[in-house]
Every structure is written in structure tokens, then in C-alpha cells.
Amino acid sequence: MHPAPSVILFSVLSGAGFGLLAYLGFGFVHLYGWLAFLWWGLGYGLAIIGLFASTFHLGNPWRAWRAFSQWRSSWLSREAWASVATLLSCAPMALSDWLSLDLPRSFGVLGGVCALITVFTTAMIYTQIKAVPRWHHWITPLMFLTFALTGGAILAGQNGLAQLLCGLLLGVMLAVYRIGDGQFARRAQTLGSATGLGVIGEVTVFEQAHTAGNYLLREMIYVVGRRHAVKLRGIALVLATGVPAVLLLLPGIWGAGLAAVCHLIGALAARWLFFAEAEHVVGLYYGKR
């Protein structure tokens, strides 16, 4: 699948942003005054920048408001609702922390739950697609949620918890690669089964349907850069989990800041791979994957 930069930026930044909002909402951090304003602002900023970036890959972004209409069937529509619900439901707690209004924590808990639901809906957009076997597995939402919780914990200054989550994320990422690599084979689709011609004999591509590129080849049969996949996996694992866990041992805000930057770069690499390594079954018709 084509790794669109806007979608990679969106899902990584808003994922970390919603993770941070969840920690702030649940009351893991007790901040007051302008410090609360800054931290809530960071959560809101990351979430909103991400949502804004996601409209860049649309063919007709000015019609994006229509995406709220199909919540009964579409995970993309549910994501739109969940993200707006999160931004609204977090507002009372954010104002309360900033202006010391002393609202009960249940307001924040509601916002935090909405934030995590939003991350889940984002993951389900990919998980639901049977035509991309690598994504069509319960490990996909688990990975998105673990990334959001880890990034959120680092940004929220929950060093001990963040180090634990880095360990968990390492395990989840390794499981994602392990499971993902076998998913296409488990689908048991080949050129022979996809065309139904396999019953006659061995099927190979004799001539491509078109000599030039098209939308399908660009969007669904993206193979550029896969040869560096193993190296990138290593970089993603180290930067998203190992390095931040060590940097969090450093005292003061610099360690946490560097850990957050490292983790986000690692998460971007991992998300790029999430798309670039995903193979769509339509590639079978082209004899490519």
C-alpha cells in the first residue's frame, strides 16, 4: 500500500496526542495554571495537527464534513465522530485544570475514554480490510493503542510507566512483524485462485493489462523501498522503544524531551512500514505484490 505522508503523520501525531489527552484526562498528571494549559495544549495541538494533515490526501477535502454521515457502517465516519467527541469532552477538564475550577475527575475520565476509542476507530479503518491480509488481524488495533499509550506516557512525563510500555510496545511490534509476515500466505490466494484459472494449470502473467502505470499500481501495489524493510524495522524498534526507555533514565525535562522525539521518529518509521509492507490481493492479478 502506498505510504501517504499525510496519513502517516496524521496517525502518529494524533495517536500520541490522543494518548496524552487520555493520561491528562484520567488524572495521571496533576497540573495547574499555565503548566496545565501548556500540556493540555500539547495534547490538543498534536491531535488537531494530525486530523488536519489527514485531509491533505483527500481528492475533495472541502466535502470532508460529509464524512460524519455514515457512522452506522463506516469506521472512517466513526473516527470522525470519536475525534470530535474527544476534543469536546476533554475541554471541561482542560479548562478546570487550567483555571482551577475543581471539576470532578469523572469529566476527564470521559474525555480519556473518548481519546482511546478514537485511536481504536483509526486502527479499525485498516483492520476491517480483508483485501489487505497483513492488516486484517486483531493485533492491528492492539498496536495502534500501544503506540498511543506509550507516546502519551512519555509526553505526560510518566517515566516509569512509559518504560514499562516501551517494553510492551517492543513485544507488540515483534508480534506484529511475526504475525504480519505470514498473513498473506494464510489467505492462501495465488494468481491461480484469484483468476480461477489455477484448476487448468500453472498461471503466469503473459502480458500486463496496460503498459503504463495506473491508480492501482501506485496506490495498492507499492513496492518501492521494501528492500530496506529489515533495516527499517530495526531502526523503528530501537528508536520507538529501546532508546526512549534509556533516555527516560536521564534527569530533568531534556531526557523526556529527547525520548519523546526519538519515540515519534521511531513511530513514523514503523507507520511507514505498516503501509509499505502491506500487500493488497489485487497485486495478484498483476503478478506483483
Query: Rule CB under 8 A: which residues touch other proteins?
Result: 1, 57-61, 63-64, 66-70, 72-77, 80, 125, 128-132, 189, 191, 193-197, 199-210, 212-216, 219-220, 280-282, 285-286
The CB-of-81 to other proteins minimum distance in angstroms stands at: 10
Are the CB atoms for 233 and 244 separated by under 8 Å?
no
For residue 202 the three cell numbers come to 500453472
Stretch (H or E) spanning 31: none
The CB-of-176 to other proteins minimum distance in angstroms stands at: 19
Which residue lies nearer to other proteins by CB, 203 or 248?
203
Cα(111)–Cα(113) distance, integer angstroms: 5
Residue carrying C-alpha cell 495544549: 41
Which residue lies nearer to other proteins by CB, 30 or 63?
63
Which residue lies nearer to other proteins by CB, 160 or 196?
196
Which residue lies nearer to other proteins by CB, 85 or 168?
85
**In degrees rounded to 5, what are phi and psi of residue 155?**
-65, -30
For residue 141 the three cell numbers come to 488495533
For residue 131 the three cell numbers come to 483485501
The CB-of-265 to other proteins minimum distance in angstroms stands at: 27
* CA 208, chain centre distance (Å): 34
Which residue lies nearer to other proteins by CB, 26 or 222?
222
Cα(66)–Cα(124) distance, integer angstroms: 20
Are the CB atoms for 126 and 11 separated by under 8 Å?
no
The CB-of-105 to other proteins minimum distance in angstroms stands at: 33
The CB-of-184 to other proteins minimum distance in angstroms stands at: 13
